[in-house]
Structure 1
């Protein structure tokens, strides 16, 4: 019916750029069919089957490792998914834990133990036992504070396994925790985790 003149059509220079594209050209039908056929092709030998399973497992574990570092919860294992688990991770990560001091203290007690001086070795053992007691006290207070916060924030949820989850995370050094910490020490936690 209506025809646009050539002057009305937007040029490539004035056309708005598409934001959020997939970042690659759409494959041709021939390429898509070839890729589908390659995926559907069943392995002929046991060796090919094992290689295909290995590559699938490697891709899956690579995706999970990347998600654990970046915080993409879609690829987390089932034990780390959900708003309650995310809150427990954040609750543990914002507090300073005495476990951070245990590794340096172990080195000090090793040096004192091998110094050859029995008095220094006794001091090292005493220092280590005191630190273990402090860590146990820290874990007990973590449990009670966590339960109180969970009751306040998630009153209708089940808390089964959350204490073990929190304590096992708190006993790890911060840089070794997976999923990686998404909050900093002392940071205020958000009010909602839904």
Structure 2
């Protein structure tokens, strides 16, 4: 009612100008600014658009499925030693050599769990002589584990320097010692060498 006529007259002309601009067709001879994609590229783009999740729930579901398949693949790799799908801490020739070196020999630490069970049973018995024997066995086992770990670490470090003079061997000795604490049948990745076999 109180609007100015000048604004009302300008508004329709601006709308008409926008409509005419949008309806203008591109000259067929003019370059479009990008190369025409190959058929294979166009098909792959179409597939990726089709497989892209449309909502958050679907995206979360797909992410869970991807994680599940990756974990299954990793579990299988830990069982059969497939280097491609192993976790980052187990990958590489240095770690493989350290694993094989530990698996090829007997370690005192791998017998810790069975010995611990025996010692605990002995310590429960209410006979002072047996309890003192159990305490002495604890000390002997701990000293043997520490000595074996020190000797093993020194020897493995030496072998790694010989085998991989230019390779990064950082953390390999600690990795091997942690592996030696586990019982052989419970180790992951599964042992690939027999006892006494040279890695």
TM-score of the two chains, using structure 1 as the length reference: 0.74
C-alpha displacement of 1:60 = 0.4
- Unpaired stretches in structure 2, ≥5 consecutive residues: 1-42
Q: 145, 151, 162: which is aligned to 2:155?
A: 145
Q: CA RMSD in A?
A: 1.8
2:92 counterpart residue number: 82
- Residue 63 of structure 1: aligned partner: 73
Distance 1:158 1:122 in 2: 47
Secondary structure at the counterpart of residue 49 of structure 1:
helix
> Is 1:131 paired with 2:141?
yes
Query: How far is 1:181 from its partner?
Result: 0.7
TM-score (norm 2): 0.72
Give me the whole-angstrom Cα distance separating, in 2, the residues matched to 1:116 and 1:140: 36
* SS of match in other structure, 1:61: helix
Number of residues of Structure 1 aligned to a counterpart in Structure 2: 155
Structure 1 residues 43 and 96, CA gap change in structure 2 (3 angstroms): same
Q: 1:179 aligns with which of 183, 189, 192?
A: 189
Q: State the secondary structure of the residue aligned to 1:97.
A: coil
Deviation at 1:51, TM superposition (A): 1.4
Structure richer in helix, relative to its length = 2
Gaps of 5+ in 1: 1-32, 190-194
TM-aligned CA distance change 1:39 to 1:175, over 3 Å: farther
Alignment of 1:1-194 (within 5 A): 37=47, 40-189=50-199
Aligned-residue offset at 1:45: 3.3
Alpha carbons of structure 1 residues 112 and 39: separation in structure 2 relative to 1, 3 Å? farther
1:168–1:39 distance in 2 versus 1, CA, 3 Å: farther
C-alpha separation in 2, matches of 1:84 and 1:99: 22
Tell me whether 70-79 or 130-139 shows the greater mean CA deviation. 70-79
Alpha-carbon distance in 2 for matches of 1:177, 1:139: 17
